[in-house]
Structure 1
């Protein structure tokens, strides 16, 4: 019986020490500022058919990307608008331009410093598979934030 109590006491002490380590590390995290991870961030923003309006979900994705960029220097922003094969090629090219512009406007509105922007539009190029099937996931804009560690 004494051995069981001793073992129980040892387990309790180890558990308390483990809890103390967790508390210490979370307290340290609140005090010590961690360096921002300034690797490039790439996101896809999807659109409704025949629309260049950034959706609520798209704004949330862009906001999350901008949050990841906090503490980093934004060297360049690459935005490529895309479209599916539905409709005329010229109209799809214009729609993909509008999508790229709408994403850029949204990034500016949420406060991301977007000094050097490379906007491009692919229209419906590449939107049909070799079998002739339409790729609906082409209704998007591809966004890459080129980030680096800020100069001190």
Structure 2
């Protein structure tokens, strides 16, 4: 084998090594950028969403809430996304439940009576599930969160009042 053949083999080997390192670095950089864009709570939110999407956790309870709501979260039209402005209210709920496993939080989703009742009820349920996921991310165990059947708002309230989830602390089994 001549010296020229060895030099060509070395060049090819070096190119393979450099290309492998470049692909590895791009992969690590891409992963870091993706994690940064998702934010620090994305894994917890994904875990909560996965837990919230299982069939057994979507059991709706038939409890009649009494007394005033601890918090009321309002939603945009057609949206089930919890607003960042609701972080304070959610923190109060987490604080109220802290250290007391006998207490439960009851989430009641509401919708107005206009439009398709089935779609409205599903949206109200999705809003309650979004609040549940936010509470789980905040540290509330899944077993302490109860979902109530969605309700239609009646009366002369505003559209904004119809797009809400009420949060109450209850003593429930």
TM, length-normalised to structure 2: 0.52
Residue 140 of structure 1: which of 155, 160, 164 is its match? 164
Residue 99 of structure 1: which of 112, 124, 127 is its match? 127
Q: CA deviation at 1:94?
A: 0.5
Aligned to 1:47: 75
Q: CA deviation at 1:41?
A: 7.1
- For 2:153 and 2:125, locate their aligned partners in 1 and report how far apart those are by CA, in whole Å: 16
- For 2:133 and 2:107, locate their aligned partners in 1 and report how far apart those are by CA, in whole Å: 11
Equivalent residues of 2:97, 2:103 under 8 A apart? no
Q: CA deviation at 1:82?
A: 0.9
Aligned to 1:83: 111
TM, length-normalised to structure 1: 0.58
Moved over 4 A (4+): none
- For 2:86 and 2:115, locate their aligned partners in 1 and report how far apart those are by CA, in whole Å: 23
Equivalent residues of 1:43, 1:144 under 8 A apart? yes
- For 1:74 and 1:139, locate their aligned partners in 2 and report how far apart those are by CA, in whole Å: 29
Equivalent residues of 2:109, 2:150 under 8 A apart? yes
Structure 1 runs not aligned, ≥5 long = 1-39, 148-152
Aligned to 2:154: 127
More helix by share: 2
Q: CA deviation at 1:138?
A: 1.7
- For 1:143 and 1:51, locate their aligned partners in 2 and report how far apart those are by CA, in whole Å: 18
Equivalent residues of 2:74, 2:160 under 8 A apart? no
Structure 2 runs not aligned, ≥5 long = 1-67
